[in-house]
Amino acid sequence: MAASPAIDLDMHRSAAHTIRALAMDAVQRANSGHPGMPMGMADLAAVLWRRHLVVDPDDPRWPDRDRFVLSNGHGSMLLYAVLHLCGFPLTMEDLKNFRQWGSHTAGHPEYEPDLGIETTTGPLGQGFGTAVGMAVAEAHLGSVFGEGLVDHRTWAFVSDGDLMEGVSSEAASLAGHLGLGKLNYVYDDNRISIDGPTDITFSENAAARFEAVGWHTVEIDGHDPFAIDAAMEEARAETGRPSLIIARTNIGRGAPSKQDTPAAHGAPLGAEEIAGWRRSAGWPDEDFYVPDGVREYFGEGMDRGRRARAAWTERFEAAAESAPEVADLWSAYHDPAPVRLEGPGFETGAGVATRNAMGAVFDEIGRKVPGLIGGGADLVESTKTHLSAGGMFSRGDRSGRNLCFGVREHAMGAVVNGIALHGGLRPYGSTFFVFSDYMRPAVRLSALMDIPAIWVFTHESVFLGEDGPTHQPIEHLAAMRAMPNMAVFRPADAGEMIEVWETVLNQSHPAIILGTRQGVPVLERTGREGGAARGGYVLREGSEAVLVATGSEVSTALDAAGLLSDSYSIRVVSMPCVELFMEQPEEYRREVLGEGLPTATLEAASTYGWAGFAGADGLTIGIDRFGASAPAGRIAEELGFTPPAVAERLAAWLDAS
């Protein structure tokens, strides 16, 4: 690492006080926020940015920068204050507009890499797991391109709340197992939570807990800059274990009556308390005051990153000139070309589970997308998401592309997000659809950040059968479709599955891909190729009514329409992705759904959300109850999802209208 400027004790105190003052003032002005954490962690932040973090405010997206995650995101003003003081494009006006409409300084950090905000942190624990994913990405890309091009660290600030959340336990266990030595966390051990001292709920030995799962730990006074610096140096020297610096701090440091109390946590301190802090600190009675020399003090730390970035650029250009294949490989990872999937070919009419169709094309995806990396929550044999030639990412082999997450769905979601945020890789995570409940915060954050995470969920309906209602998703499709900015794909057959993967890989947004456990017929789609890429398309022409279906119910819809062909001309529409279909031009949507035709929908899940297609006089066929333990065929019979049963309901509806 480039040389770091020394700690000047007087300037350090001024820098830390500036962070505290800016946090107090911004929260007070907004009349909303959390001043206590920034005041308590100000010394830690000042040392980290001055002495250790390698970033360049002139080029915030520089690929080989250190990553910083504020997992205790309620203390967002600490991050905003430091970014502003370090010269990132976050202005004083941004600080003054903390928590206001349209500002860059939201109540919790929201992903804006051009400003130095590396991730959106909302629910506690998500940032903890996300940073693990960033460290995984660094380790893997380092094995591909070498330490000359990829060699950086991931730092995170975490809180009592992060450690209480279950996702942190999963992520810490995984990080320790993998020996992610470039992962360094600073734990704000202030012993205060919203409801009172943490000892009312949290009495475990954090050091022993993390040491037990393979971490290096060190305990320090979080207000002693020299102890902080030494601990961070010690953490950086650890090459085979992640590190947890347990920093004993005072929440609301320096507040006359609110230090070390819950009152400093989540509410403005009040004018009187701020005035008292200013008097005790010898601080001018001026809002948003920044003393002379503080920006320069932080700027000297940023010069370390500027030098490192310039040296990296020289190395990259030299490598590209001496070995052009290096530049080509870098581009293949960081700016991939469009993907065209061929697939193995499937016989029309054959019964092929769409998860098996995905498995049949997965190695082709891996060959054509070298940055594809991911795995499953101990279910890859079921989700069919294994890269045969990918190897296993492990402590001893960072080149592997198959990530073994173990039974850790919470952590898997956060780690996948961290890999996507890092850049240079296309990550996926897979499990049964019903277990997406454990992953929802991470899936939602991927949509909120609009990052290219791929969520693969198989066993996606009651037709998984004998495992019963605990494993049979009912409301999950409606819940995921209700999530803004998330495309949910439920392919009808093997051909649609290949088109769906091609569609997802050729865009940079989050997506959910669902696969069946049971076999479904391979459909005759000659002349209909590419329809899945538009979200919905006509599979069978008809002039009197429209039946919209998804997934395994598409073949049922076709058969039902065929049974009624002597009485009614029913158009069958396959709609693998409602969101994508609704983005199509209105002319196309009308062409597919017809003008004024009565519409029915068919999906083996909750009917919630389908009324918008069926309309007031339409028919929605679904399942508004939990499933049952039985073979898939018996479930279809009992719940009315056989072609004759569907045809009967359609006929009764059409006869009545």
Q: Fill in the DSSP letter of residue 493.
A: S
Estimate the crossing angle of helix 324-334 against helix 126-145, to 10 degrees. Answer: 160
The C-alpha torsion from 69 through 72 and 78 to 82, rounded to 10°, is -10
The answer to whether residues 418 and 388 touch, using CB atoms and an 8 Å cutoff, is no
Using alpha carbons, select from 550, 543, 558, 648 the residue that is nearest to residue 597.
543
The amino acid present at 352, given as its one-letter code, is: V
Could you write out the DSSP letters of every residue in 16-31? Answer: HHHHHHHHHHHHHHHT
Residue 90 phi/psi, 5-degree rounding, is -120, 110
Per the CB < 8 A criterion, the answer to whether 65 and 88 are in contact is: no
What is the rounded CA–CA span in Å between residue 377 and residue 118?
Answer: 26
Residue 263's Cα: distance from chain center in Å? 32
Q: Does 499 participate in catalysis according to the annotation?
A: no
Taking the CB of residue 562, how many other CB atoms lie within 10 A of it?
A: 14
Residue 301 backbone class (left: φ over 0; alpha: ψ -120 to 50; beta: rest): alpha
How far is it, in rounded angstroms, from Cα 428 to Cα 521? 27
* Tokens coding 421: 């945020």
Query: Residue 441 has which token pair?
Result: 């915060």
Task: State the residue for tokens 């202030």.
Answer: 190
Burial class (CB in 10 A: 0-12, 13-18, 19+), 102: exposed
Q: How far apart are CA 408 and CA 261, in angstroms?
A: 35
Which of 165, 409, 496, 502 does the annotation list as catalytic?
409
Which residues contact residue 195 at a Cβ distance below 8 angstroms, ignoring those fewer than 6 apart?
Answer: 201, 262
Phi, psi of 270 (to 5 degrees): 100, 150
Residue 369 to residue 452: CA distance in whole angstroms = 13
Residues recognised as catalytic: 409
